[in-house]
Chains A and B, each alone.
Chain A
Amino acid sequence: MDLGLIVESISVLVHGVFLTLSLTLLSLVISFFLSVPLSLLRASLNRTLSASVLAYTYVFRGTPLLVQLFLVYYGLSQLSIVRQSLLWPVLREPFWCALITFSLNSTAYTTEVFKAGILAVPRGVVEAAKALGLSRFMLIRLIIFPLAFRTVLPSYANEVIGLVKASSLASTVTLLEITGLARRMVSETFAPYEVFLAAGLLYLLLNFTVSIVFRFLEMHLARSSIRVSKNGTAYPVTSWLSCPWKAMSKRTHTNPSTHSL
């Protein structure tokens, strides 16, 4: 083990952090905005709407991300409609293909996470808000979503960490993010231990930062809800505060609400 090489690898791999972060953060933002309306549809009482969203989440959560990425990157270019369309300059670039795939994949997971939160909002609260005459939009914006988001914050943190890790797959479509740079460096130096150790350290640092951010977000939200109301049952997330790492679990494939014991 060569300590100097580890330091050198870190200084090279740091250049990939920007790409890893931009892939992660952009797909995070896109999937957040897509999954809010989708999760409302998924949680709705209308069977057809709920089932059609379920079909989307089921397929995207039931197939490997790598297959989805290759379908978008290699598969779409086979269709001449795509090649002749205005979107072709975008779909030709590996970055946009990776971003589209990660966003769609993450939307599927996040939709199910949010849906579990929406279903966990107490009925009485919704009825009380309706009785006060809140419009449908205000009901969602002021009552349902803030409560749901608070409940699912730990699962959402897992989803974000999963996304950081999933961004490593971008290296398979020639993108030089952390893993891509590491693979190139290993083939040049043939020193796998040092280079991959450096890459691992960077990923651990990123994921640790994510869990710290979510810990603070949770504390902040828990505190603000104490100030607003004295309702002690509104924040069932405090157990997670003690250790952020313990909360990390695999992205759940099935509906989390039916599986909590």
Chain B
Amino acid sequence: MLNFALQFFNGLQITVVLALASGVLGSLLGLLVAIVKLSRLRVAALFGQTYTTIVRGLPELLVILVIYFGGTAAITALTGRYVEINAFAAGVAALMIVFGAYCAEIFRGAIISIPRGQAEAARSLGLKPWQIWTFVILPQMMRVALPAYGNLWISLVKDTSLVSVIGLTDIMRVAFVGAGSMRAPLPFYLMASALYLALTSLSLASFRVLERRIQIPGH
């Protein structure tokens, strides 16, 4: 078990980096889709709606498998020889797609909750559209979106364990390999549970602090 401490540490690093990378990319994707869904462009809004509807109805594991095996098949077809795509890249892409779909819905709701007058007032002050978004709408919608966003982030941390299925050596994979080689599954999976619980607890606590910090007194 002690020999695996280093491996667990490396697994923990991979899990955290994977969650952060797909979280950041997924948030950007979600924000983009939310803005597109609220735009006047009917076709674009329809595309956004289709994306969020389909992805939220699919199991996360299936999305990961599609990206991994589909990506491998695509690159193999393009290059003419068998190339297995990087499990980390496939994991980031798949989790980004899943995270983005849920994020889009959260952000859309938060944007709608900002009174129209805010954007109108900003426009009458002569702010450009990008300034309206970055200085008026985004700071206000963060406050509304944060609780749901925190929940979603915790789901993402837990979903990273699914990437072990395609062979990425995250916490879960380290536990799986260790359990197999030492013929002692119980301590390894308990260790993995403890690490995940620590990660989710830490996330929960940080989001609580963040929520309290950006709260307007009296609201």
CB–CB A74/B179 < 8 A: yes
Q: Quick one: given A62-B201, A70-B185, A74-B185, are A196 and B172 in contact (CB under 8 Å)?
A: no
Report the minimum CB–CB distance from A38 to chain B (whole Å).
20
B184 at the interface (CB under 8 A from A): yes
CB–CB B73/A250 < 8 A: no
Q: Quick one: given A62-B201, A75-B190, A165-B60, are A183 and B65 in contact (CB under 8 Å)?
A: yes
Q: Which of A27-35, A44-52, A123-131, A241-249 is the contact stretch?
A: A241-249
Q: Which residue on B lies nearest to A193, using beta carbons? A: B70
Partner of A192, one of B54, B56, B73: B73
CB–CB B105/A249 < 8 A: yes
B133 at the interface (CB under 8 A from A): no
Q: Which of B3-11, B21-29, B118-126, B157-165 is the contact stretch?
A: B157-165
Query: Contact string, B151-189, partner A, CB cutoff 8 A, digits 1/0?
Result: 110110011111011000000100110010000111001
Taking chain B's interface residues, is the majority helix, strand, or loop, or is none over half, making it mixed?
helix
Query: Contact string, A145-187, partner B, CB cutoff 8 A, digits 1/0?
Result: 0000000000000000100111111011000000100110010
Contacts of A76 in B (CB 8 A): 186
A141 at the interface (CB under 8 A from B): no
Q: Which residue on B lies nearest to A169, using beta carbons? A: B61
CB–CB A67/B155 < 8 A: no
A77 to B53, CA, bound (A): 40
Q: Which residue on A lies nearest to B150, using beta carbons? A: A254
Q: Which residue on A lies nearest to B199, using beta carbons? A: A62
Report the minimum CB–CB distance from A146 to chain B (whole Å).
27
CB–CB A207/B158 < 8 A: no
A257 to B56, CA, bound (A): 23
Contacts of B60 in A (CB 8 A): 165
Query: Contact string, A198-218, partner B, CB cutoff 8 A, digits 1/0?
Result: 011001100110000000000
CB–CB B189/A74 < 8 A: yes
A59 at the interface (CB under 8 A from B): yes
Q: Quick one: given A71-B190, A249-B105, are A63 and B200 in contact (CB under 8 Å)?
A: yes
Interface size band for B: 35 or more
A164 to B59, CA, bound (A): 8
A66 at the interface (CB under 8 A from B): yes
Report the minimum CB–CB distance from B149 to chain A (whole Å).
10
Q: Which residue on B lies nearest to A206, using beta carbons? A: B57
CB–CB A196/B57 < 8 A: no
Report the minimum CB–CB distance from A209 to chain B (whole Å).
11
B38 at the interface (CB under 8 A from A): no
Contacts of B65 in A (CB 8 A): 179, 182-183, 186, 192, 196
A86 to B176, CA, bound (A): 27
21 CB < 8 A contacts A-B = A62-B154, A62-B200, A63-B158, A67-B172, A67-B189, A70-B189, A71-B186, A75-B185, A75-B186, A78-B184, A165-B60, A193-B66, A196-B62, A199-B62, A200-B62, A245-B56, A248-B57, A252-B151, A253-B154, A254-B151, A259-B150
Q: Which 8 A-B pairs have the closest CB atoms?
A: A168-B59, A192-B69, A64-B161, A74-B185, A259-B147, A165-B59, A64-B158, A253-B154
